[in-house]
Amino acid sequence: MALALAAPAFAQTGAPPTGQKLGQQLGQPLAQRSPAKTYGSTCGYCHGTNVGPIILGRHLPATYIRDMVRGGRNGMPAFRPSEITPAELDALADWISKAPGSPTERGQ
């Protein structure tokens, strides 16, 4: 019921009712994710779960990681800048290249 009452105020002013917040505003970029969060939500879906090869602890060159993320290869899809921003990719590639192996990862 409260949502129904608040909706007209939002529609008229273009802003949420006082004291309420909305998620990302139209035209506003999302905050940059940490490398660990990006890895966990994007890379870790396949890598280390018996789908893709284990990449943590292999000390792969950061340039190789960036090229693979943008270009994809074989079963790995390419990720667009709208999915992983250039800044996130730079931080992610450096983080992966220096990361120790993880005992929780499984795979090749």
- 69-85 residue pLDDT tens: 999 999 999 999 989 99
The total domain count for the chain is 1
Report the alpha-carbon angle 9-31-68, nearest 5.
135
What mean pLDDT value characterizes the chain? 83
Q: Going by C-beta distance under 8 Å and a sequence separation of 6 or more, which residues neighbour residue 95?
A: 35, 36, 39
Over residues 22-56, the pLDDT tens digits come to: 566 777 667 889 999 999 989 988 998 889 999 99
Give counts: helices (H), strands (E), the chain. Answer: 4, 0
Q: Which long-range contacts (CB under 8 A, 24 or more apart) does 23-30 make?
A: 29/85
- Tell me if 83 is assigned to some domain: yes
- Tell me if 85 is assigned to some domain: yes
- Tell me if 65 is assigned to some domain: yes
Within a 10 A sphere around the Cβ of 88, how many other Cβ atoms? Answer: 21
Residue 56: domain span: 30-108
What are the beta bridge partners of residue 73? 76
- Tell me if 1 is assigned to some domain: no
We report the CATH number of the domain holding residue 63 as 1.10.760.10
